[in-house]
Amino acid sequence: MPIAYCAECDWEREASADEVTDLGRAMIDHYVETGHSPVERRDEADRLAGGDSLESQPQTADRSG
């Protein structure tokens, strides 16, 4: 189930699979009203159902050394 949240305020929306378009619209509306850029995340079950796996997520290189 996708969830969108705002790191700058307490705004948050959750959507079922049928409401994904509504979630996108709510994210746009929040940005227009506040200038905040909401972040969308999916739970692990949605990632796995979509063919993504934790291993296939992009990794960042450690360049601290």
Q: What is the pLDDT of residues 15-64, one digit of tens each?
A: 887 887 888 899 999 999 999 988 877 665 555 565 554 444 444 555 56
**DSSP E strands: which ranges in 1-65?**
3-5, 12-14, 39-41
Exposed (0-12), middle (13-18) or buried (19+): which is 26, by Cβ within 10 Å? middle
59 found inside a domain: no
What confidence score (pLDDT) does residue 53 get? Answer: 45
Does residue 40 fall inside a structural domain? yes
Does any domain span residue 65? no
Q: Is 36 a domain residue? A: yes
Q: Which domain holds residue 42?
A: 3-48
Phi, psi of 41 (to 5 degrees): -135, 155
Q: Say if 56 falls within a structural domain.
A: no
Residue 63 lies in a domain: no
pTM of the model: 0.58
Domain count, the chain: 1
In angstroms, rounded to a whole number, what is the distance separating the alpha carbons of residues 48 and 35?
Answer: 32
Domain membership flag for residue 44 = yes
Residue 50 confidence (pLDDT) = 58
| Within a domain: 19 | yes
Where does residue 56 rank: exposed (0-12), middle (13-18), buried (19+ CB within 10 A)? exposed
